[in-house]
Amino acid sequence: MLAYIATRVVQLVVTLLVIAALVFSMLRLIPGDPATIMAGTEATPELVAATRRDLGLEQPIAVQFARYLRGLARGDLGRSLRTRAPVAAEMYPRVIATLQLTLVSMLLTAALGTAAGVWSAVRRGRWVDNAILMGSLAGISAPSFWVGLVLMIYIGFRANLLPIAGYESPQHLVLPAITVALGGIPMIARLTRAALVEALDQDYVRTARAKGVRELGVIMKHGLRNAMIPVVTVAGLECGRLLGGVVVVESVFAWPGLGRMLLEAIQARDFPLIQGSVLMFAVFLILINFAVDLCYGLIDPRVRDAR
């Protein structure tokens, strides 16, 4: 297992370097003079020259990239063009807020999606199975911003059960987390059902039942565990999709997270803040994929042997 983890860590580091190079190239690939774009079309030549010096754009590309990597190693992501504050300092509270929303949403997606899929597989062909399948189809089709607005209207305004915007208390997290999770639960449920139905039809499951193993043990130990590899794979992809949905949901619920800050930075043409936000989202996705790889090794020992 240690060799398997070491291999994945090396791949993670290489991937991070590639992502850092792509984020570094973001500003350089913009048509025109990056310093003029960042300083504004109405900027004086002196301001453009100062911006170019601040960014180190007068140096060779290799030197700029090495300087960029050294800054990343120190946690230095540059300074915001709007506030002149360090990007890392501006991002820190936003990252915390986004992590809270994302982690709660992922837990809801994994727990409720797997439970619904197992229940549907065990009750296949019955009304419960049909209801879950139809509900999951509706959930996949509904866009997250529409789901958020519906929850705000009926749970926030009319029922007055939960706050609809803000970041003051744990209650403010409920509606955004449910909105994000409802987009991923249907996919996890459908895939869990399909994988578990296939696993329960295998010979080793019939053998376990013939030996007198309790039905719950048959489902959880022999069926679900062998069905988890494709489920974990899609769960990792769904986590990436959830991060994309967070950008929209944070705007709908006025959640002060990284996605909302990214939209504000794009509107203000604050390129250092855009670069830092994109890099942080990429790091989130890489860490999620790393966690998925570790889950592969824990679920199926053959994956570790095939590294």
Tell me the per-residue pLDDT of 247-268, one tens digit each, with 9 for 90 and over. Answer: 788 888 888 888 888 888 887 7
Nearest to 272 by CA among 44, 51, 48: 51
pLDDT of amino acid 302: 61
Q: How confident is the model at residue 62 (pLDDT cuts 50, 70, 90)?
A: confident
130-177 pLDDT per residue, tens: 888 888 877 777 788 888 888 888 888 888 888 888 788 888 888 988
CA-based radius of gyration for the chain = 24
Q: Mean of the per-residue pLDDT values for the chain?
A: 80
The encoded tokens of residue 199 equal 């696993």
Q: For residues 232 and 300, is the Cβ–Cβ distance under 8 A?
A: no
Domain 95-268 part of CATH 3.40.50.10860: no
Q: How confident is the model at residue 27 (pLDDT cuts 50, 70, 90)?
A: low
Q: For residues 271 and 27, is the Cβ–Cβ distance under 8 A?
A: yes
Beta bridge partner(s), residue 86: 79
* Residue partners of 281: CB distance under 8 A and separation at least 6: 243, 258, 262
176-206 pLDDT per residue, tens: 888 888 888 888 888 888 888 888 888 887 8
Task: Tell me how far apart the alpha carbons of residues 43 and 100 are, in angstroms, rounded to a whole number.
Answer: 40
Which of 19-23, 33-37, 273-277, 293-297 has the weakest average pLDDT? 33-37
Q: Is 212 left (phi over 0), alpha (psi -120 to 50) or beta?
A: left
Q: Count the alpha carbons within 13 Å of 221 in the hemisphere toward its beta carbon.
A: 9
Mean pLDDT along residues 85-102: 87
pLDDT of amino acid 219: 79
The encoded tokens of residue 121 equal 């597989």
- Domain boundary assignment for the chain: 2-73, 95-268
